[in-house]
Amino acid sequence: MKVLVVGSGGREHALCWAIAASPLCDALYCAPGNAGIAADAECVTIGAEDFDGLVAFAREKSIDFVVVGPEAPLVAGLVDRMTESGIKAFGPTEAAAALEGSKGFAKDLCAKYDIPTAAYRRFAELEAAKTYIREQGAPIVVKADGLAAGKGVTVARSVDEALAAAEDALSGRAFGESGAEIVVEEFLEGEEISVFALCDGKAALMLAAAQDHKAAFDGDKGPNTGGMGAYSPCPAMTDALAAEIEEKFVRRTVAAMKAEGRPFIGILFVGLMITAAGPKLIEYNVRFGDPECQVLLLRLRSDLLPALVAACDGILDSFDLRWYDEVALSVAMASKGYPGPYQNGTEIRGIEAAEADGRVKVFHAGTARGADGRLLATGGRVLSVTALGDSVADAQRRAYAAIDKIDWPGGFCRRDIGWRAIAREK
């Protein structure tokens, strides 16, 4: 098979690394990719948003299978475009990607199909939103309806903060069109878990669960980011909880989407809060998480590629995936300043030394080669240093030992990824 992966982050590096290892893969391309992905795939300089360019390239190379990594091209309909052009592509259609593309759509689906989630109201009118926020009081959560690069959610500790967030979104200032409508919802308290399932429109195959650290700094402090680290499995996930989540969230959502005429094919990422009243949905995503994908794929024993193809072909019920029992833990190394402004082009050395431990893999998230071959940082999150271990503590130790061999004065990382799970192990 000739395969094209679309995207350029740590998630796409992990996807390329896993797909390149498949005996079914004869040729692998990544658009646009990065310097690390270039070791596993031939990178082509076509952006993930350039649908005409991607379709033309897939035709020219007779690509058999396209795997779309990030949410933006999925929500904008890249899989539909590929399918219309006769090219098999993995991921939800535009209609099914509304689960992530419109928080209002997702919340209404939960209400209609009895999927537990925070109480909410949708608003397009500022005055009505303000009245509701004042009635409900704080803490309260304000969310832009559409995609906002992970910045559309305000967990407001005060009514004033919530009012300001509603005004910023609905005025169009903060998120443009994505904020033209908002969801205002109940604040949920508890531990967050991310659950992943591979779906073929009718059936769902549960993948491993993971937990990530969204805050930029140690102790889960500081601004929210795309994710500073993750681990899998999560000790908070018991067998009983896993069974409840599969039934109430994954199976119900797949059945609901089928009933709505928007069958969901792809990776369903269910973000949950484990509250005192049981698990409740925080949000859906329609793709692998980043960095959750890196930890999941390091733990995957089976060949990923035939599973993705089976999901596309609607024959997942005959499929099973096997996992290593080991723990995987990933630490994001980011450019100093991230998630605020940061400098691009700082040099990174020592990746080979970091990978000398055979249980460590350094996935690249934002790197490029300079003209002289030096490895340069080209993004906020730059490396995803991922290790397998016998426990969360062991995986954490290996990940940080690897990081200490990386020579990158322009970067930083959190030093406490996995702390909650390690406290449970003790």
When asked if residue 153 is in the footprint of ligand AMP (CB under 6 A), the reply is yes
Tokens of 205: 């195959």
How many whole angstroms separate alpha carbon 24 and alpha carbon 171?
50
Q: Which of residues 201-260 bind ligand AMP (CB under 6 A)?
A: 214, 224
Give the angle 328-330-336 at the CA atoms, nearest 5°: 170
CB 326 within 8 A of CB 299: yes
- Of 181 and 290, which CB lies nearer to ligand GLY in the complex structure? 290
Cβ 267 to ligand GLY shortest distance, Å: 11
Piece of 27-35, 284-292, 306-314, 351-359 that binds ligand GLY (CB under 6 A):
284-292
- Mask for 208-247, x = binds ligand GLY (CB under 6 A): ----x-------------xx--------------------
- Sign of the dihedral through C-alpha 298, 300, 302, 308: negative
Strands 2-7 and 27-32: parallel
Q: Report the alpha-carbon distance of residue 184 to residue 166 in Å, rounded.
A: 8
40 binds, among ligand AMP, ligand GLY, none (CB under 5 to 8 A by kind): none
Using only C-alpha atoms, the chain has a radius of gyration, in whole angstroms, of 21
Considering only residues 1, 27, 138, 155, which one is a binding residue for ligand AMP as defined by CB under 6 A? Answer: 155
Nearest to 145 by CA among 283, 268, 269: 283
Residue 7 interacts with ligand GLY (CB under 6 A): yes or no: no
Q: Is the Cβ of residue 190 or residue 350 nearer to ligand AMP in the bound state?
A: 190
Tokens of 167: 């005004």
Q: Kindly determine how many residues on this chain lie close enough to bind ligand AMP according to the rule CB under 6 A.
A: 14
Tell me if 178 sits within 8 A of 228, measured CB to CB: no
Return the residue of 181, 185, 292, 416 that touches ligand GLY, per CB under 6 A.
Answer: 292
- Cβ contact 346:230 at 8 Å: no
Residue 289 interacts with ligand GLY (CB under 6 A)? yes
Q: Is 285 in the site for ligand GLY (CB under 6 A)?
A: yes
Given a contact cutoff of 8 angstroms between Cβ atoms, the answer to whether 200 and 311 are in contact is yes
CB of 312 to ligand AMP, least distance (A): 27
The answer to whether residue 168 forms part of the interface with ligand AMP (CB under 6 A) is no
- The answer to whether the beta carbons of residues 295 and 389 sit under 8 Å apart is no
Question: Which single residue brings its beta carbon nearest to ligand GLY?
Answer: 227
Inter-CA distances, 187 with 12, 118, 167, Å: 32, 7, 19
Which one of ligand GLY, ligand AMP, none is in contact with 283 (Cβ closer than 5 to 8 A by kind)? ligand AMP
In the complex, what is the shortest distance from the CB of residue 19 to ligand GLY, in angstroms, rounded to a whole number? 19
> Which residues within the stretch 159-178 sit at the binding site for ligand GLY (CB under 6 A)?
none
- Nearest CA to 42 among 79, 1, 89, 5? 5
Residues in region 176-195 near ligand AMP by CB under 6 A? 185-188, 192
Residue 290's binding partner among ligand GLY, ligand AMP, none (Cβ under 5 to 8 angstroms by kind) is ligand GLY
| Cβ closest to ligand GLY, residue 203 vs residue 331 | 331
Stretch that binds ligand GLY, among 31-39, 100-108, 287-295, 388-396 (CB under 6 A): 287-295
Question: Taking the C-alpha atoms of 280, 157, 225 and 77 in order, what is their torsion angle to the nearest 10 degrees?
Answer: 60
If contact means CB under 5 to 8 A according to the sort of partner, which of ligand GLY, ligand AMP, none does residue 212 touch?
A: ligand GLY
Stretch that binds ligand GLY, among 136-144, 158-166, 285-293, 386-394 (CB under 6 A): 285-293
Residue 261 to residue 56: CA distance in whole angstroms: 29
> Per rule CB under 6 A, is residue 106 in the interface with ligand AMP?
no
- CA end-to-end distance (rounded Å), the chain: 46
The closest of 329, 349, 300 to 420, measured between CA atoms, is: 329
| Residue 181 interacts with ligand GLY (CB under 6 A): yes or no | no
> Which two structure tokens, joined as six digits, stand for 322?
């096997």
Q: What is the nearest approach in angstroms of ligand AMP to the Cβ of residue 252?
A: 19
Contact call for residue 71 and ligand AMP (CB under 6 A): no
* Cβ–Cβ < 8 Å for 185, 221: no
Residues that bind ligand GLY (CB under 6 A): 212, 226-227, 285, 289-290, 292
Q: Which residues make up the interface to ligand AMP (CB under 6 A)?
A: 118, 141, 150, 153, 155, 185-188, 192, 214, 224, 282-283
